[in-house]
Amino acid sequence: MIAYATIGTNDLERATKFYDAVLAPLGGRRTFANGDRMQFYGSKDTPGMIAVSKPYDEQPATAGNGTMFGLPAGTKADVDAAYAAAIAAGAVCDGAPGQRMPTFYGAYFRDPDGNKVCVFNMG
């Protein structure tokens, strides 16, 4: 139902390197860019995309209070791999990988700009 979501950044080069590493274990890859302001990512398995972007109004990007992006993973091992890649690329742990509910396995972290991300597997 969601076509795309945008994650704000103050350093597009750093954010692009970060999301290259985090999204690779999930099958994510760069799709297209909008100049030096925005980089989109997608997967052949899902129609939705995410983008990392410098704010259009040229004001500093800030992480939203209560805002979180959820990224689906095919397996628990994929969750673990994406989380490990995020931490290695500079993320701050906001909840190590684990079973949260009987059908929800997830890991939480904050990217270098402070945006909260959950990588999860349902089932």
Could you report the per-residue pLDDT of 14-47, keeping only the tens digit for each? Answer: 999 999 999 999 999 999 999 899 999 999 888 8
Residue 79 region, left (φ>0) first, then alpha (ψ -120 to 50), else beta? alpha
Averaged over 101-114, what is the pLDDT? 97
Per-residue confidence (pLDDT) for residue 28, from 0 to 100: 95
Question: Considering the entire predicted model, what is its pTM?
Answer: 0.92
Per-residue confidence (pLDDT) for residue 60, from 0 to 100: 95
Residue 1 has pLDDT above 90, yes or no: no
Topology (CATH level 3) of domain 4-55+67-122: 2,3-Dihydroxybiphenyl 1,2-Dioxygenase; domain 1 (3.10.180)
Question: Which position has the token pair 């095919």?
Answer: 74
Averaged over 49-60, what is the pLDDT? 95
| Two structure tokens written together for 62 | 């800030």
